[in-house]
Structure 1
Amino acid sequence: MHLIDIPNFINTYITKRKESLFLKDIEDNHKRLTDKIAGKSVLVIGGAGTIGSSYIKAVLKYKPGKLFVVDTNENGLTELTRVLRSDAHTFVPDDYRTYPMSFGDPVFKKMFLAEGPFHIVANFAAHKHVRSEKDKYSIEAMLENNVFKAKEFLDLLMDHKPEHFFCVSTDKAANPVNVMGASKKLMEEVIMSYSKDMQITTARFANVAFSNGSLLAGYIERLFQNQPISCPDDVQRFFVSPEESGQICMLACMLGQTGEIFFPKLEAEQMVYFKDITLDFFKASKRPILECLSEEDAKTKALTLKEGDPYPVYFFKSDTSGEKLYEEFFTEQDQVDQDSYASLGVIKNARQLPRHQIDASLLDLRSLMDSGNYDKTAIVEVLKKHLPNFEHIETGKSLDQKM
């Protein structure tokens, strides 16, 4: 198969942008960004993932004095270091360290207290896939990572306040229909309850094209293993490139006022169907496809696949729990500033609940999950109680039941 240039493919067929969506805002704010980052100490949690590592690359252009990166993915940290150290154009501060640990671990707290203070703290550690919604165990793990650990970390930060704290959100937090989106909406409300006490911002944004674990990134692995590809033909999404994902987080972190939620200014016509991307992917790869009637049909045809044969692809209608066929970044109740930035919108009136109310909501969830007498439906009902806009879509099917 003809190997394609993935960054060029993203620019040409997915985002259809020759340069970054955020280039003008970055250029217009070059001095402000330099003043806020140059020489400063930076801590990035979840920095081995696609968005976290892209954020690191964006920040390094302004030459921070110290960079610590924490992630549970030891191999990911190794590759991040190789990427940074191998690029002749990338500045890496003398005090650069990576730690394979969870930010909820006691050893993380020891490191944080001994090696701080940190001027800039960004948290990208998250369960980010709708796929993670399966049963009570997977949902509890998601809430633990996305909400409870974030809350514990904020309590730690209260005595060691950074100049900037950023925690990544998702477009799926706007009118959530899945538990992942609801967990990130709850995370937003948790961090906003601290926003009067420290500088806190977040960002919702689109799918990151070819990000780690994404459907599109899986295409490359399937091709290497001569396995068929499956794709929903009725789902469309907004997309940003990996580089853009790091840039929007940097801009939100450094330029935002506390309590603000940033999002990319994208129009509905910029959404792209996964099916169209799939067809363009094979066109760019100079290989025809063979549309199959089912997963079994696709897997059977892959068994006899030879170089140059049409590649087996199965297109299906989406029918899994929590699947939203479109994307949105804000709701009718949000006060939105569309004028301050060329490429960024800002939600100005994010709910800032009293801390005791947030504590009560989390206690409800914790008590339920510690009771031993609960299921997925019970967790969803408690989330609905605290998130009025949460309208869960339940079909009884999980993405883990599909290719």
Structure 2
Amino acid sequence: MAYQKRMSFLIGLDSAIVLFSIYIGYFILHPYMNIYSPSTLLISSIALLASHHFFAAIYRLYHKAWEYASVRELIAIAKAVTFSISATTIVQFAAFQDVYIRVLLVTWMLHILLIGGSRFSWRVYRDRYIRKHHDERKRTMIVGAGSGGSMVVRQLLTNEAEFEPILFVDDDPNKLRLQIHGITVEGTTRNIPLLVKEHEIDNIIIAIPSLKRQQINHIYEQCAKTDAKAQIMPLIEDVITGKLSVSSLRDVAVEDLLGRDPIELDIESIAENITGKTVLVTGAGGSIGSEICRQISIFKPNKLVLVGHGENSIYQIDMEMRNSHGHLIEIVPVIADVQDRERMFDVLNTYRPDVVYHAAAHKHVPLMEYNPKEAVKNNIFGTKNTAEAAAEAGVKRFVLVSTDKAVNPTNVMGATKRVAEMVIQQLDRESETTFTAVRFGNVLGSRGSVIPLFKKQIEAGGPVTVTHEDMTRYFMTIPEASRLVIQSSALARGGEIFVLDMGEPVKIVDLARNLIKLSGYTEDEIGIEFSGLRPGEKMFEELLNENEVHPKQVFPKIHIGKAGVVEGEVLWRFISSLPSKDTTLLKEQLIEVANTKEDLKMVMKEAISF
């Protein structure tokens, strides 16, 4: 009903404007041209009225939200009016063998002025009305006077948002003192602290979607010098696709500051290995495994097999995949333990995947120091079971998710992952399957990582516990790590250990300070305590030791390590001496080579020195 009333109102308004315009045109020019004729005026009026409504329908002038009117809408008005005047010109010539050019020009100008004015006046009214309530809104600085910043300001001005845009800052000197939607570019990002104080800014919105991570970090450093809250606009693609609106702002996250610029994937080579194929992911319910599933689904495999030990986690990723891609991909959830050799052979032989991503593992360093037998069973025997089952099932590619802790390992978890790498390197030589490993650093926000722990400590009021003030780690985001794994599977030729160029390591204490600030607190309010190194921890992590470094990148930000290999006979003899399981009853066997955790670690360290 409201829509019909709106349509009727606009049609009636336009009809009045059309008739008024042509009558005024004739009235103004008649004394000088003696062109008045009732039949001429009547036929011209009818022709102009009919043609206007025809072209207004074509350019959808009655369907636009005029409170958001801009240049695009003005162009539509100009086209509709111009074509309607042109049609009237043709009618005049056909009816009277003459064209009253001056009258039609005056009519065209009045038509543009009144039709455009009637539409844009509504937007001006709304803008004025909203601005009357500026005292209740947060004074906001927009960082970035480009397309992103323009979209944000326009959205804030045309909606009853809680933010009132006050000024822009932009590092482009050509934009200084320019106005965008009435908002002035007052300075550069280096002036943020001064401008926040001078204009009493409450909020800062970072509106540059193309920013690199280092640039975001620089801007945030300036924002952190103020008491204003920093937020960031959503990605342009999310706005365009309708997933989010421009005003769906989010707080700056630690991932924005510590994450690195996204890896550009070789879409064609990945699609060749995944599209239309069967893909199996172990540990599919975990942080990395579930993200690998999400990334793989983009390439539309024929079948995606989700393997995991945890019933709840597999249920969650299964439901997520079915909701997002179930109409395109056959999703198969499988509850299985990689330590169960018979079960893994059964799963691989049943589904016979083209590609396997092995993300199942125990990864928590201190926990594995207390439970070394479990680390051995899951990380070594689980990998061996899955890899050998893949080889027997004729899998084309097998990718092991490894860790930087496998380099010169000082802990059980790292040692087991290094042995797992050796296993897949040896199997690559013994089978037709292409085996490869991917090694990367800490993943931001993954289960058991430091960031969720810090967030809980901050929510509890502190203090945040850091093991040592000099401890550093490499970081990447979960999607980045998953893309690396997928890209590596396309690059693999067999036996490689791929390593991401992780950039500069980050001090854990700096990470803690950033999280405290991002949470809206000061370091004095929350506090930071140093608890000392935990069992098995290193002060500094490595991605490759000095004997493994291969300086040339095989793909942007991806290296191939030159990790040494162990003779197959030595490797299998060593593994056979480690704790194993009965393949049918899944019962743990006692450690044959050592009775204590320390002896087990010693034996493992000796093995990985080959």
User: Aligned pair in 2 of structure 1 residues 218, 317: CA closer, same or farther (>3 Å)?
Assistant: closer
- Is 1:57 the counterpart of 2:294 in the alignment? yes
Match of 1:338 in 2: 552
How far off its partner does 1:339 sit?
3.1
Could you tell me which residue of structure 2 aligns to residue 252 of structure 1? Answer: 488
Greater Cα offset, 276-285 or 75-84: 75-84
Partner of 1:322: 536
Match of 1:117 in 2: 352
- 1:143 Cα shift? 0.6
User: 2 CA distance for matches of 1:113 and 1:178?
Assistant: 35
Aligned to 1:378: 599
Q: For the residues of structure 2 that align with 1:3 and 1:142, how far apart are their CA atoms?
A: 42
Contact map agreement 1:263 1:346 (CA 8 A) in 2: yes
Give 1:69 deviation, angstroms. 0.6
Q: CA separation of 1:206/1:79 partners in 2, compared to 1, >3 Å: closer, same or farther?
A: same
Aligned with 1:147 (options 374, 380, 397):
380
1:12 is aligned to: 256
Does the aligned pair in 1 maintain the 2:466–2:509 contact within 8 Å?
yes
The residue aligned with 1:285 is 519
The secondary structure found in structure 2 opposite 1:262 is strand
Structure 1 residue 373 displacement after superposition: 5.8
CA contact (8 A) 1:104 1:149 kept: yes
1:205 alignment partner in structure 2: 440
1:353 partner amino acid: V
Does the alignment pair 1:166 with 2:403? no
Paired with 2:285 and 2:546, the residues of 1 have a C-alpha distance of 35
Structure 1 CA distance for aligned equivalents of residues 276 and 252 of structure 2: 33
- Aligned partners of 2:326, 2:445: CA distance in 1, in Å? 25
SS in 1 for 2:577: helix
| CA-to-aligned-CA distance 1:86-120 (integer Å, 9 cap, x gap) | 55xx6764310222331233444433322x21001
Match of 1:262 among 498, 503, 511: 498
1:296-352 CA distance string (max 9 Å, x none): xxxxxxxxxxxxxx33x44215322221111211122225152321110112x4334
> What secondary structure, in the 3-state scheme, does the structure 1 residue paired with 2:529 have?
strand
* 2:554 maps to amino acid: S
Answer yes or no: is the 8 Å Cα contact 2:403–2:440 preserved in 1: yes
Q: Percent identity?
A: 24
Question: RMSD over aligned Cα, in angstroms?
Answer: 2.6
Q: Aligned partners of 2:493, 2:303: CA distance in 1, in Å?
A: 24
Q: Does the 8 A contact of 1:103 with 1:109 survive in 2?
A: no
Residue type at the aligned position of 2:564: R
Residue in 2 aligned with 1:307? none
Do 2:473 and 2:505's aligned partners in 1 also have CA atoms closer than 8 Å? Answer: yes
1:275-295 per-residue CA deviation (whole Å, 9 max, x = no partner) reads 1111111211212244xxxxx
Could you say which residue in structure 2 is the equivalent of 1:38?
275
- Measure, in 2, the Cα distance between the counterparts of 1:240 and 1:92: 32
TM-score by length of 1: 0.80
Of stretches 164-173 and 5-14 in structure 1, the one that deviates more from structure 2 is: 5-14
Structure having the larger proportion of residues in helix: 2
Write the mapping of 1:345-360 to structure 2, written as runs, cut at 5 A: 345-347=559-561, 349-360=562-573
Once the two structures are superposed, the pairs formed by residues 155-194 of structure 1 within 5 Å of their partners are 155-194=388-427
Distance 1:86 1:118, change over 3 A: closer
Task: Tell me, yes or no, if structure 1 residue 239 matches structure 2 residue 475.
Answer: yes
The CA distance in 2 between the partners of 1:234 and 1:45, in whole Å, is 35
SS at match of 2:591: helix
- 1:288-303 equivalences under 5 Å are 288-290=522-524
> Amino acid of the residue matched to residue 258 of structure 2?
I
Question: CA separation in 2, counterparts of 1:64 and 1:171?
Answer: 30
Q: Quick one: which amino acid aligns to residue 177 of structure 1?
A: T
Q: How many residues align?
A: 353
SS across alignment from 1:340: strand
> Structure 1 pair 249/373, CA: closer, same or farther in 2 (3 Å)?
closer
Secondary structure of 1:169's aligned partner:
strand
Work out the CA distance in 1 between the residues paired with 2:517 and 2:327: 38
Structure 1 Cα separation of the partners of residues 401 and 252 of structure 2: 26
Quote the residue 1:399 is aligned against. none
TM value normalised by structure 2: 0.54
Amino acid at match of 1:340: V
Matches within 5 A, 1:63-82: 63-82=300-319
Unaligned runs of 5+ in 2: 1-228, 233-249, 581-588
Equivalent residue for 2:321?
84
For residues 254 and 10 of structure 1, what CA distance do their matches in structure 2 show? 30
TM-superposed CA distance for 1:224, in Å, is 5.2
SS at match of 1:133: helix
AA of the residue aligned to 2:444: A
Higher relative contact order, structure no. (Cα contacts within 8 Å, ≥ 6 residues apart): 1
SS of the equivalent of 1:35 reads: helix
